[in-house]
Structure 1
Amino acid sequence: MTATQNPIVTEFRDGELMPVPLKADAIVLQGTFALVDATGFAISSSTAIAGTQKCLGVWDNSADNTDGEDADRIACVRRNKQFLFANLATDAVTQADIGATVYVADNQTVAKSSDTDARPVAGKFMGFDTQYPEYVWVEIQ
């Protein structure tokens, strides 16, 4: 396509909710990390965590593609927010880590380290919850 010389209307969306196609046989659970693998399809919330996965946000709804092929089902990912997750006790973030990158330890827990690149990036640590100090706020964009 060549560059335009005239004003145009460019469609947009706010990016807070993003539809993502599920991998064949994947089941995703509302409120857990929304992860995709190298193919770009959403993987099951119970899939083992790997550093090659990408965290897009948090599932806004559960979806089941158990008997489907890739992209037969779509679920929505909520992003551009701060989400409350458990802090992994054996690799916990501390107050000194405020603003630092944190990593997915399981489908509802973050860790301070990447475990030598074995964990995908979750987002940025934005503080502890005042009511539940074992939980942390993570900003996912």
Structure 2
Amino acid sequence: MTHNQNFLNLWISILYRYRKNYMNKKLEAYGGASGSSLLILSIYKNDGISQEQISDLLKVDKGSIARAIKKLEQGNYVRRQEDATDKRANKVYLTPKALALVPEIQSAITDWNKQIMTGIPVESQKIFLNCIEQMAKNACDTCL
């Protein structure tokens, strides 16, 4: 195993923590929503998505999704509505407050991605993104 392979988890962890800090700073005016930015974007792109579908999409356990949605609901970022065809399921919708936040989230993510890709040639970026996507798929397969 090479030096870089030994530290793969370290670098991923560092990127995760710095991204979290960056998003918190960029979205601090919006309270607790910064930690749920990907959740908010997922609901934005799939209005009326069920909690179970969100869990599948983001690869996060159902309990964590339920807690995150409850927190967003308390902050008036989302509303839940019982599914008309399945009374056990809830559909999730963004409120106007969250819809106003979406451009801020998208801008922060775009800026972050530009920042971390600075100095990396476009071809290398494409290769990296393909590789990390495959790594995520491999991890998902391993954990099932």
TM-score bucket of the superposed structures, by smaller chain? under 0.3
> Please, what TM-score do these two structures have when normalized by structure 2?
0.27
More relative contact order, 1 or 2 (CA 8 Å, 6+ apart): 1
> Please, what TM-score do these two structures have when normalized by structure 1?
0.28
Q: Name whichever structure is richer in helix by fraction.
A: 2
